[in-house]
Chains A and B, each alone.
Chain A
Amino acid sequence: MSRQHLRNAAIAVAIALLATLPAWVGNAYYVNIASQILFWAICALALNVLVGYAGLTSLGHAGLFAMAGYAAGLMLQAGHGHAFAIISALAVTLASTAVFAVLALRATGIGFLMITLAVGQIIWGIAYRWASLTNGDNGINVSTRPAPFGLSLASADGFYYATLVVFLAALATMIVFVQSPFGASLRGTRDQERRMNALGYNVWLIRFCAILFSGVWTGVAGLLFVYYNQFISPQVAALTTSAEILLMVISGGTGTLLGPVVGAAIVVIMKNVVSAYIERWNLVLGVIFVVIITFMPEGLVPGTVRLCRYGWHKLASRGSRYTKIGDRAL
């Protein structure tokens, strides 16, 4: 079997496993965790467009995520239907992403990151302090989930399938996006900004479009989040959430399509497991960051593989300690 066949087979198996997940997992609790992983994966994929392919690190994505959730929640509270709420939430997210992009693109590198952080904090500030609009710390309740084409999403299984469909759509658009000429020019602006400029590409516009694309999918993830929890509070817009999404992206390995999905799974599972034993999720999150950066800067998955291999070599070469002086330099 060629490599291509192997890859197609792996994709088919993965889709089959995902499609039958409620059947073989059984418990509604685990199905819900799978839904969480999927919508966080959409968000991580969206951020990865910026971090991995555009070389622009955003620490304000939780703001966009929450913006979509709040917009939908407020529309529903005002008595509008689900379709109207979803469409207007996406429109609001698109508009605010455009403002976000115009501001953040005044700088690149550290400046970009600082501005996104500040804008993210503004959105958090609105959610938290503008109590007459957002109900402050008490958050907004969403009483029902939508029922597209008459299919109820009230059960864990129903919601899982809806999330899966959206996730696959997101993944498909990401694949198209990355492989398109536009994706190539985006990578070009990441690696050789000045050369791209000299070649006649509009670097600013390319980045602007990438941020819009990322923002819309972040908004979709935010909508899934608010329908999953049927509740949204300022906590969602906090810096911790932005950091978690970034952790998903870098722990899986940036600039790959599978990385953010694996990263989302790792973070969601870890968060659920850790929260069951201790209340110190922030501490664990911080330690993971420090450990990743210090010991495996290339990402959690490739890093673990490298460290294991290194440890194995150490064990294997214990007898011939003097032959491998070159190792030390590594």
Chain B
Amino acid sequence: MILWLTLAVNSIALGGLLFLLSAGFSLIFGLMRIPNLMHGSFFMLGAYFGVTFLSKGMNFWVAALLSGAAMAIIGGLIERFLLRRLEGQVLPQVLLTLGFAFIIGDICLMAWTGDPWQPATPDHLRGAVQVAGLFFPVFRLVIVGVAVIIAIALWLMVDWTRLGAMIRAGVDDAPIARVVGIKVSQLFTLIFALGAALAAFAGVIGAPYLSVYPGLDFEMLPLALIVVILGGTGSLLGALVGSFLIGFLYNFGQAMFPDLAYVILFLPMLLVLVLRPQGLFGRVVS
């Protein structure tokens, strides 16, 4: 019983992290139709930045925000100066982002060596809270809390603000949105930077829990991919549901069938592809 509950808490925490990672991926994919294969690299590079800031004695949340800001700038620059030139060309976009994923991966290996880094959980988030005679680690709960807050903020932004309305207009019909005066290109850069920042932020938050090591980038990328295929592209709700589903499958799969855990992860994706190719919450594009 205790084991299952611990697993459930871990699953929800991983789901929260995955949501932060895949929300940006989903927005970038949904709005810009860019398959951003360096999203896992943003996560890893952000985590490495955070680890470095933390080792300088910085506050945990400041380090996470700073790392997110740094990645927003890097992501924005890549979008503005390289990806922008390839608008509408899928293959070149894939190759460019894949190329950057390799470059970032190798630079991280050079700069931070091959040893895993695991920053200590910040002091005020250590320990556990006791609820109904059971102990829950505070830090995992905080991760979930942060993810939920960001999910709500993103939902409010997309559904209830002028900016969100412009984004939705850009998703639905970019040429017409341009005609009515929405600067779609600037929105693209903004969304891309936001996605990169969210990934980096997730990387720092996840670092005390997952630790940071070479190869983390290509481990997270397929997870973001599955979440988006599951939930449907461009759908925040889909990303949220998909993330928690994958979080549960990952942890329970690893506990029950350690050999096949990685394969089990992909089963819901296969089912969704066969039964509902647009994803659980995706819309059919006419």
Contacts from A to B (Cβ < 8 Å): 51, 57, 59, 103, 106-107, 109-111, 113-115, 117-119, 121-122, 125-126, 128-133, 238-240, 243, 246, 250, 280, 282-283, 285-290, 292-294, 297
Contacts and interface: CB of A to CB of B under 8 A. Distances in A.
Given A113-B35, A114-B225, A286-B101, A107 B96 contact: no
B20 to A, nearest CB: 20
Interface stretch (B102-110, B126-134, B162-170, B235-243): B102-110
A240 B102 CA distance: 8
A294 B95 contact: no
Q: Which of B225, B228, B262, B269 has the most CB of A within 10 A?
A: B262
A289 B263 contact: no
B62 interface: no
B237 to A, nearest CB: 20
Contact of B96 (A126, A240, A246, A294): A294
Contacts of A290: 82, 96, 99-100, 103
B259 A113 contact: no
A111 B90 CA distance: 10
A4 to B, nearest CB: 34
B262 A283 contact: no
A280 B110 contact: yes
Q: Which of B82, B106, B265 has the most CB of A within 10 A?
A: B106
Contacts of A109: 90
Nearest to B262: A125
A292 B35 contact: no
Contacts of B100: 286, 290
B260 A130 contact: yes
B110 A288 contact: no
Nearest to B105: A282
A130 B9 CA distance: 26
Interface of B: 29, 33, 35, 37, 82, 85-86, 89-92, 94-96, 98-107, 110, 218, 222, 225-226, 228-229, 258-263, 265-266, 269-270, 273-274, 277
Contacts of B33: 110
B273 A115 contact: yes
Contact of A289 (B29, B98, B225): B98
Contacts, number: 118
B269 A289 contact: no
Given A243-B98, A287-B103, 9 more contacts: A111-B277, A114-B229, A117-B37, A118-B229, A239-B218, A285-B102, A287-B99, A294-B96, A297-B89
A221 B263 CA distance: 25
A111 B229 CA distance: 9
The majority secondary structure among interface residues of chain A is: helix
Contacts of B92: 293, 297
Given A103-B273, A122-B262, A57 B82 contact: no
Contacts of A57: 90-91, 94
A103 B270 contact: yes
Contacts of A131: 259
Contacts of A125: 262-263, 265-266
A294 B101 CA distance: 16
Contacts of A282: 102-103, 105-106
Contacts of B94: 57, 59, 110, 113
B266 A288 contact: no
A282 B215 CA distance: 12
Given A57-B91, A294-B96, A122 B102 contact: no
A110 B93 CA distance: 10
Given A118-B222, A293-B95, A129 B103 contact: no
A294 B96 CA distance: 8
14 contacts: A103-B274, A110-B94, A114-B229, A118-B269, A122-B266, A126-B263, A128-B262, A238-B218, A250-B91, A280-B106, A286-B101, A289-B95, A289-B99, A290-B82
Contacts of B95: 246, 250, 289, 292-293
Contacts of A238: 218
A111 B233 CA distance: 10
Contacts of A111: 277
A57 B92 CA distance: 11
Nearest to A254: B91
Given A285-B102, A287-B99, A294-B82, A126 B262 contact: yes
A110 B211 CA distance: 31
Contacts of A114: 35, 225, 228-229
A126 B263 CA distance: 7
Contacts of A286: 98-106
